[in-house]
Structure 1
Amino acid sequence: MDDKQQLLNRILEGQHLTPVFQPIVSLIDGKTYGYEALSRISQKELEMNIEEMFRTASKHNKSWELETLCRVKALEHSIHMERGKKLFLNVNCNIIYDNAFREGFTKAYLQKYGLNSNDIIFEITERVSILDTHAFTSAVDHYQKQNYGIAIDDVGAGYSGLNIIANARPDLIKLDMNMIRDVHKDETKQLLIKALSEFGKNAGILVIAEGIETEAELETLVSLGVGYGQGFFLGCPDPEFKDISKDKADLIRSCQAKSYIRKNKTSLYPMAGYLSRSGNTFSPYEKALKIYETLQNDPSITEFTVTESGAAIGFMTRTSLFEKFGGRYGFSLNSKKSIQQLTTKNFLSVNYDMPVNQVSKLAMQRHYDQLYNPIVVEREGNYWGIVTIKDLLEACTKVEVDTAMHSNPLTGLPGNLIIDQEILFRVLNDAPYCIIYFDIDNFKSYNDAYSFQSGDMMLMLLADILRRAAVKSEFIGHIGGDDFIVICDYHEAETYCEKVIEYFSHRVSSLYHKDDMDRGYIISKNRRGITEEFPIASLSVAGISNRIKAYKDIEAFSVEIAELKKKCKRQTGSYYEIK
């Protein structure tokens, strides 16, 4: 008997295992969906690698005994788990249909631990081949009918492929951690994960990403639409059933909000980097002939960028390279040259965060022979990818169509959907901003006394003033009724507010009868039907900036701006305040 087998026997005989629980969380709101039960050896003198322990058990026909001990320990501790959460128990694919296993999960057995079948997810690992496919699928069907959940583990590794998903029709699939590692750097992984996420949504299967270890991986998975996540970055295995930290939950919600904005923003054009793809790159010292032969064998390469030390230093289209090798002397003249000797240095490159409408303008200003070439995208001075003219035009068209659909019909200004996206974008980013709400005081009484048509003229007047006062491409929106919003991408908005109030005070008199203006008020009925004197319309203006205080979520911002608006409305005449 070897040393490893002896250690395993001592672990099993003394039941020297303790369970730990790693949270599985929603990548939408950061709430805990359930916990995966893992095992740790409880005696230091029996220290053994966990993976090695399971391999040793398999080698010496002890898998059943070891897995049973792990499950029993997990179930014993489950009395401390909050009801409504799921307990994920790892199960070998060739054990689930064993009668002894089935007997271990009877209703009476679970009641002993205060559980029912709805609380249990069997996490089936398929790193070994299924020995009896029919028995396996029958067992899965049996447990699902008993309201147990079935998860397929390690999808994308080992034997866990599409066949088992199609046959078992699981409730959840867990993406293998090797698919998740550095996913933000790998376009192929992103495409695959996005496809699996879409498949899960269409098939009613929850998708869980395992092994999340960095913020960049988390943000990418959120943007790809993955619903659930697990990994050391979110929460480590722990003897207690712990939720992830508030900071990590806030980060998930922030990533989700940013992803929503990138996918749905309308008035604010998406960034060039969001539309870009990785593209093909070559070293400047690569022989032109070798690249020419590569392109001959791969028709999908329509252009490429030459990079050195991470930076883009040249660009060339497939057509240009083929022209260099064409003609009577082209091949002999260029076949021995390096590619940097043939590529153009005069190519359009833009920063990752440049809005696509600006990129489009630059692209259309190029010489006609470069007009439809892709644009190189750089981030912090390094090559990031390319964006095509087709993608630019589609993005700009979508913005224009969406803006028209969601604009206020009276003033033509963006409406609530676009306003909400604009506010969210500012609040969740670090760039300077000041968000200002404009409210017309005594508007209802004017509307009642002078007619709805006159009220509409006052709304159009304020909309015109807000536009005329703008000097730095401020975003202007019409919330509805007499409520407007202006978003400045700078802190010092006092001058803008003062200018709007001044213009409004001068021009609003044109909408009143001379007698009312001379008197300084109008006579109208209030909401209770009682005749009352109402002052001439004025403006209440409340602004919130991140000059002093940053807001981590939209709720905190909304509470503060609501309080400030109430304060401004209590003042007499036109009044503004910016915090």
Structure 2
Amino acid sequence: MAVKCAGCADGTELPFQFKMAFQPIVNVVEHRVWGYEALVRGPNGESAHSVLSQLTDQQLYRFDQAARVMAIETAGALFDDPEARLSINFLPNAVYEPRACIQKSLEAARRASFPTSKLMFEFTENERMSDPAHIENIVRAYKAFGFWTALDDFGAGYAGLSLLARLQPNLIKIDMELVRDIQLSHPKQVIVSAVAAIARELDITVLAEGVESEAELTSLRAAGIALFQGYYFAKPGFMSLPQVRGFQQMDVSIAG
């Protein structure tokens, strides 16, 4: 029998609408789209802020559940590559009990015939985590389900390496502030190279987000990073999968 919690029984509708955009995550070594991140947008493509600014604390759970379901069902209709992962942002404070609160996501995956092994749930360290043990419990449960977990905005938040050591997610996303103009900053190059080396020792995949130029890409490749996301490759597609910049234009010759 499925685990249940009180919050999961709340079927109240949200007082606003939203949809999804999808931004590619590319593997420049294998010359393929590795996956897509689902991003919240307004009903006509408005910014994520236009949606999130309407949220109240009482609506967090309902929104988190509805966003997951919409992302999975939309991806099920759009994806044509069975190997592509779907990355979904989630709100740790909206998860009461991870085994219970994932049930709607599992039901959505069944309806959409979307393989749960290709789901990745990402959370950010950009906000102070009041209960790291709760986050650790979520990550452990999600891994047991066979999902990937990702730590977003790594290098920009409160916990940094201590959080990485405690949670050991499958993937970390290097914050775009470390990525921006990295080719011009020796300190950024040293930091990113060190983080990439640590991640390799821990068997954690590294993704650089917010890449906007070939110079940034080349510098990040020198650190051994293979996964990338950013406007250099494609802007998010509103309720669609955008065309990705041609891989033949990328210099990926540096060994990873």
Using the size of structure 1 for normalisation, the TM-score is 0.39
Any idea what SS the aligned residue of 1:244 has?
A: coil
Any conservation in 2 of the 1:223–1:256 contact (CA below 8 Å)? no
Distance 1:105 1:20 in 2: 18
Letter in 2 for 1:171: N
What is residue 354 of structure 1 aligned with on the other side?
none
Q: How many residues align?
A: 240
- Let me know the Cα RMSD of the aligned residues: 2.3
Closer/same/farther in 2, CA of residues 14 and 92 from structure 1, 3 Å limit: closer
Query: Is 1:245 paired with 2:245?
Result: yes
- 2-structure distance, mates of 1:95, 1:182: 35
Counterpart-to-counterpart distance in 2, 1:109 and 1:52 = 25
Contact preservation (8 Å) 1:90, 1:122: yes
**Contact 1:94–1:131 (CA under 8 A) maintained in structure 2:** no
Which residue is equivalent to 1:215? 214
Given that 1:152 and 1:160 are in contact with CA atoms closer than 8 Å, whether structure 2 keeps it comes out as no
Counterpart position of 1:87: 86
Deviation per CA, 1:257-277: give whole Å up to 9, x if none: 2x35xx9xxxxxxxxxxxxxx
Residue pair 1:12, 1:66 contacting (<8 A) in 2 also:
yes
Alignment of 1:478-489 (within 5 A): none
2:23 is aligned to 22
1:54 aligns with 2:52: yes
Equivalent-residue separation in structure 2 for 1:43 and 1:12 (angstroms): 17
Contact 1:92 1:126 in 2 (8 A): no
Distance in 2, Cα, partners of 1:235 & 1:199: 29
Are the structure 2 counterparts of residues 250 and 215 from structure 1 closer, same or farther at C-alpha, using a change threshold of 3 Å? same
SS in 2 for 1:130: coil
Once the two structures are TM-superposed, the CA of residue 243 in structure 1 deviates from its matched residue by 5.1
Matches within 5 A, 1:137-216: 137-216=136-215
Report 1 or 2 for greater relative contact order, CA contacts < 8 Å, sequence distance ≥ 6.
2
What aligned pairs does 1:289-368 form with structure 2 within 5 A after superposition?
none
Q: What is residue 60 of structure 2 aligned with on the other side?
A: 63
Counterparts of 2:138 and 2:28, CA distance in 1? 31
Whether contact under 8 Å (1:180, 1:210) holds in the other structure is yes
Partner residue in 1 for 2:6: none
Consecutive unaligned residues of structure 2, counting only runs of 5 or more, are 1-12
Distance 1:66 1:203 in 2: 33
Structure 1 residues 234, 160: CA separation in 2 closer, same or farther (over 3 Å shift)? farther
Structure of larger gyration radius: 1
Contact 2:65–2:105 (CA under 8 A) maintained in structure 1: no
Q: Match of 2:69?
A: 72
Alpha-carbon shift at residue 149 of structure 1 (Å): 0.3
What is the letter of the counterpart of residue 151 of structure 1?
Answer: A
Give the 3 Å change call, closer, same or farther, for CA 167–207 of structure 1 in structure 2: same
Cα distance change on mapping 1:188 and 1:97 into 2, 3 Å: farther
Q: CA deviation at 1:72?
A: 2.0
How far apart in 2 are the matches of 1:233 and 1:115?
28
- Report the alpha carbon displacement of residue 127 of structure 1 after superposing the two structures with TM: 2.2
Mind listing any 5+ residue stretches in structure 1 that lack a counterpart?
1-10, 264-579
Shift of 1:24: 0.4
Determine the C-alpha separation between the residues in 1 that align with 2:58 and 2:127: 15
Structural mapping, 1:442-461, within 5 Å:
none
What's the counterpart of residue 121 of structure 1?
120
Which secondary structure does the structure 2 equivalent of 1:57 belong to?
A: coil
CA offsets, 1:252-307, max 9 Å, x none?
3xx222x35xx9xxxxxxxxxxxxxxxxxxxxxxxxxxxxxxxxxxxxxxxxxxxx
Contact 2:42 2:51 in 1 (8 A): no
Contact 1:32 1:243 survives alignment (8 Å): no
Cα deviation code 1:87-130 (max 9, x no counterpart): 00001232345355232233x44211112321100011232222
Q: Does 1:256 align with 2:229?
A: no
> 3-state DSSP class of the match of 2:58?
coil
Cα distance change on mapping 1:192 and 1:210 into 2, 3 Å: same
Q: Tell me the CA shift for residue 55 of structure 1.
A: 4.4
Q: Which has the higher helix share?
A: 1
Q: Residue 13 of structure 1 corresponds to which residue in structure 2?
A: 15
Relative to structure 1, is the Cα distance of residues 213 and 149 closer, same or farther in structure 2, using a 3 angstrom cutoff? same
CA contact (8 A) 1:20 1:240 kept: yes
The change in CA–CA distance for 1:208 and 1:181 in structure 2 (over 3 A counts) is: same
Q: Which residue of 2 aligns with 1:36?
A: 37
The amino acid across from 1:141 in the alignment is R
Task: Quote the Cα distance in structure 1 between the aligned partners of 2:60 and 2:159.
Answer: 20
SS at match of 1:29: coil
2:150 maps to a residue whose letter is: A
Which whole-Å deviations, capped at 9, do the CAs of 1:55-110 have from their partners, x for residues lacking one? Answer: 4425x53222333332222112112212111000001232345355232233x442
User: 1 CA distance for matches of 2:95 and 2:87?
Assistant: 14
Q: Tell whether the 8 Å contact from 1:97 to 1:136 is kept in structure 2 after alignment.
A: no
Structure 2 counterpart of 1:250, one-letter code:
Q
Aligned counterpart, 2:10? none
Over the matched positions of the two proteins, sequence identity in percent amounts to 28
Q: For 1:102 and 1:221, how far apart are their aligned partners in 2?
A: 35
Superposed displacement of residue 142, structure 1:
1.3
Displacement, 1:14? 5.0
Superposition pairs of residues 420-431 of structure 1, within 5 angstroms: none
Aligned partner of 1:459 in structure 2 is none
Task: Supply the distance in 2 between the matched residues of 1:52 and 1:159 (Cα, whole angstroms).
Answer: 26
Using the TM superposition, give the Cα deviation of residue 152 of structure 1 relative to its aligned residue in structure 2, in angstroms.
Answer: 0.3
Deviations 1:201-221 (A, max 9, x none): 221111000100111111111
Q: Is the 8 A contact 2:176 2:210 kept in 1?
A: yes
Cα distance in structure 1, aligned partners of 2:172 and 2:95: 17
